Chains A and B, each alone.
Chain A
Amino acid sequence: MVPLWMYLLVSAALFCIGAYGVLSRRNAVAILMSVELMLNAVNINLVAFWRYLTPQNMSGQAFAAFVFVIAAAEAAVGLAIIISVYRNRRSVVVEDVNLLKG
Chain B
Amino acid sequence: MLELNAQSIGFLIFSAFTIGGGLGVVSSRNLIHGALYLILSLFGAAGLFVLLSAEFLAAVQVLVYIGAIAILIIFAVMLTRSLTRLGEVFNKQWWLSALVAIGMFVLILVGVILPVFSGMDTSGVSPNVATTIDLGVALVDGNQYVLPFEVASILLTAAMIGAIVIARDNE
Contacts and interface: CB of A to CB of B under 8 A. Distances in A.
Interface string B152-171: 10011011101110110100
A97 interface: no
A72 B80 contact: no
Interface in A1-59: 1-10, 12-21, 23-27, 29-30, 32-34, 36-37, 40, 43-44, 47-48, 50-52, 55-58
Interface in B113-171: 113-114, 117-122, 125-126, 128-130, 134-135, 138-139, 144-145, 148, 152, 155-156, 158-160, 162-164, 166-167, 169
Contacts of A3: 2, 117, 119-122
A77 B166 CA distance: 8
Given A20-B97, A23-B101, A25-B91, A66 B152 contact: yes
B50 to A, nearest CB: 10
Contact of B152 (A15, A24, A69): A69
Contact of A33 (B25, B75, B112): B25
A17 B152 contact: no
Contact of A10 (B2, B15, B88, B159): B15
A8 B113 contact: yes
19 contacts: A2-B122, A4-B119, A6-B11, A12-B113, A18-B26, A23-B100, A25-B26, A25-B89, A27-B31, A29-B80, A33-B25, A34-B26, A36-B73, A40-B41, A43-B45, A56-B126, A61-B56, A66-B152, A71-B65
6 closest A-B pairs by beta carbon, nearest first, are A23-B97, A73-B159, A21-B26, A20-B101, A58-B138, A80-B167
Interface of B: 2, 7-8, 11, 15, 18-19, 22-23, 25-26, 31, 34-35, 38, 41-42, 45, 48-49, 51-54, 56-57, 60-61, 64-65, 68-69, 72-73, 75-77, 79-80, 82-85, 88-91, 93-94, 96-98, 100-102, 104-105, 108-109, 112-114, 117-122, 125-126, 128-130, 134-135, 138-139, 144-145, 148, 152, 155-156, 158-160, 162-164, 166-167, 169
Given A7-B48, A81-B166, 18 more contacts: A1-B125, A17-B19, A18-B26, A24-B97, A26-B91, A34-B26, A43-B49, A43-B57, A47-B57, A69-B156, A72-B69, A75-B69, A79-B76, A83-B79, A86-B82, A90-B83, A91-B82, A96-B84
